[in-house]
Amino acid sequence: MYPFLKQLHSGWAYLALLLLLFAVINAVIGLTSKKEFTAKDRKISLFALIGTHTQLLIGLILYFVSPLGKDSFGQMSNAALRLTSLEHPLINLIAIVLITIGWSKHKKLINSEAKHKTFAIYYGLGLILILSRIPWNLWF
Ligand code: HEM
């Protein structure tokens, strides 16, 4: 169970991050070029939402089976264990909450510029937070 989940979380991370990066770039281009918000833009943002939510779900299960997750919680003096047992899960959870808020907010907006702006801000902040707490040494 553990090796499979670890591999899945490791592999899905590429897809989730690529989808999120693509959605942020798309929103910034849409905003700066004053493009109309179309069904294509909605789909790009939805795929990023689904990709990150799936990663969250895998991460949550992994947290309880990995020796670097719950079992290492509280080891504050060890930076690597503090990262995987506290900082990475907590910051990623906050990032995905922001992404979800961005998605919900855009639905209430009518104006294309406001929709692009909402995605650029909320998805952009989410991406920055996620990138700030990746256990890079484990990943590569
Ligand atoms: C979009 C959000 C997330 C991304 C992109 C992400 C990405 C990653 C990556 C790249 C690794 C290193 C994988 C490797 O060993 O090759 C990792 C490890 C880990 N992640 Fe996440 N993660 C996310 C969310 C979460 C969440 C929400 C949790 C827990 C609630 C979590 C728990 C863990 C744990 C426990 C490890 C260490 C696994 C081990 O090596 O035993 N992750 N994550």
pLDDT digits (tens, 9 = 90+) for 50-105: 999 999 999 999 999 999 999 999 999 999 999 999 999 999 999 999 999 999 99
For residue 78, give the amino acid letter: N
pLDDT at 53: 98
Residue whose CA is closest, atom 20 of ligand 1? Answer: 59
Mean pLDDT of the chain: 97
Is the CB–ligand 1 distance for residue 93 below 6 Å?
yes
Is the CB–ligand 1 distance for residue 4 below 6 Å?
no
Residue 131's Cβ-side half-sphere holds a number of Cα atoms within 13 Å equal to: 10
User: 1 CA distance to ligand 1 centroid (A)?
Assistant: 15
pLDDT at 4: 97
CA distances from 107 to 47, 94, 127 (A): 15, 21, 20
DSSP state of 93: H
* pLDDT tier for residue 140 given thresholds of 50, 70 and 90: confident
pLDDT digits (tens, 9 = 90+) for 42-55: 999 999 999 999 99
Is the CB–ligand 1 distance for residue 118 below 6 Å?
no
Q: How many CB atoms are located within 10 Å of the residue 73 CB?
A: 15
DSSP state of 78: -
